[in-house]
Structure 1
């Protein structure tokens, strides 16, 4: 039987919020078995927001959680790092209404977890076993889950851009695959969307240091891509983070 896990020690970092442009301090702490992931707003007297499906407020441009009117935004990259590292339980202290964007990927969070270490706990890990195929479509987007012996994600994206086009990748989330193959992939956006997003008071903390910015012909970032298919890898990262809100790992193919 596989046991639950938590962090062996606290770990902390700080960075800028993508949409608020405010400096945010973040601290990961060990948590007892069956806690799951719980965000703690230290700026609001330790107000707790469980990272669950029931807490989701909206998913437009960032996954935002809310409990009794208190919100917390841009949680998906950290949740992806926790789930990708097979952490089951953690308290996540944050002193503002948004998590830091870091470099636009999960890599900094993955490194935090590696520094803190992982320990087994006394209780057995529960998992969501997929027994039959379920599919949902909305416009030109579709997500499907079907039975499998491990947690796998098979993702295809198609953007009319010379650096993206159609990209497809299938990853089995085991043996450190998330940290190697998915965690370093950065978020991306298009120059033609930037002004509208800023008018909506979004991406005020966005820069070439925390996102891939695409022009109609190429990209503004001089550092280049980390993977030729970095875009589909980041979409997988976001999927892992959002599925972490289920409260347990999935045994199935998404």
Structure 2
């Protein structure tokens, strides 16, 4: 599996190859929880598919039966430990936990007949086939959802509008269009002019490093601004809508997102600008 090295963008565009031998995965202790999933945390904004990541980890656990004969029950135990570790990379983002949980459920369904059997030959092939199918389903569903979000948001915009976005909820964080950035990509496909104002998003600079990078690569008309410039560009009538993503949505409609989103929302309300969460 190949991931973009998100922590290096935009100055370096490098790929990370995930390929771990089974003896390294099965015997390696889970790192201390004081710094959970530090390497995965650095990569988490660029996961092409959370489901694919979990499937890759599970494949590593069971790929070399010449080295290990592991029972299905032991496999699930090891899988669950590594799944919990992966979830710790992004505890606020519900979609990662959701995708990992789906992969775990797929593994349990595949092995529920007998957890004492050895994961070898036909059983191993069946297990990985189950996980691969689930990963592909997650990827396809995410792409359809992203596009549907984009279609709806684009219907709320007019050609020539200026749109402000904060942090990164784009193609680097999903399987394709992103959520907040989906209407921008659809607009590019249809030659609909939009000017995108991208907050730098302190302190981690996800707007500058990720959102501006990916939109620039796609050919979008964008302006990178400091976070404290949002009020100024709004007051000048340059912004007709604000669109951000969110890590999760509560049952009552409240949302949690990157620090700074609240300030953008308050400014948008002050200037009478529609604010959308995608």
Q: Same fold (TM over 0.5)?
A: no
Larger Rg: 2
TM-score by length of structure 2 reads 0.30
Q: Give the structure, 1 or 2, with the largest relative contact order (CA under 8 Å, sep 6 or more).
A: 1
- The two structures have a TM-score, normalised by structure 1, of 0.32
Q: Which has the higher helix share?
A: 2
